[in-house]
Amino acid sequence: MTTGTVDALYRWPVKSMAGEGVGALCLDRNGAAGDREHAVFDTFKNAPRRATARETSRLLAWAASYPGVADDRLARGAPGPQITAPGGATFAWSD
């Protein structure tokens, strides 16, 4: 049996935005709760599509996090994350 050590845990609340280091994660068969549960959409050929860093590399300069929610208590269907702009301004996901 192979063993190892976990050095760090991360989750990315919004696909293609910078994520956050966490002290714990709730895991289920779908992965880590809160990880990539949200996405930014744009329009391509008159249809919505998920924006990714491949097409919109500046998304990587933005960050998403779940402040005020204990890492080990975050469950599927978590509240919208807080978004931090490159200049440091913060926004609610609903903004």
pLDDT of 31-87, one tens digit each? Answer: 898 899 899 988 888 888 888 888 888 999 999 999 888 887 887 777 889 999 999
Residue-wise pLDDT tens digits, 16-30: 999 899 999 988 888
| Largest interatomic CA distance in the chain | 52
Distance of CA 89 to the CA centre of its chain: 17
Model pTM score: 0.81
Residue-wise pLDDT tens digits, 34-46: 899 899 988 888 8
CA atoms of 54 and 79, how far apart (whole Å): 26
Two structure tokens written together for 38: 């949200």
Per-residue model confidence (pLDDT) at position 63: 96
Question: Rounded to 5 degrees, what are φ and ψ at 32?
Answer: -85, 130
Two structure tokens written together for 86: 């490159």
Q: Between the CA of residue 67 and those of 4, 33, 70, what are the distances in Å?
A: 29, 14, 8
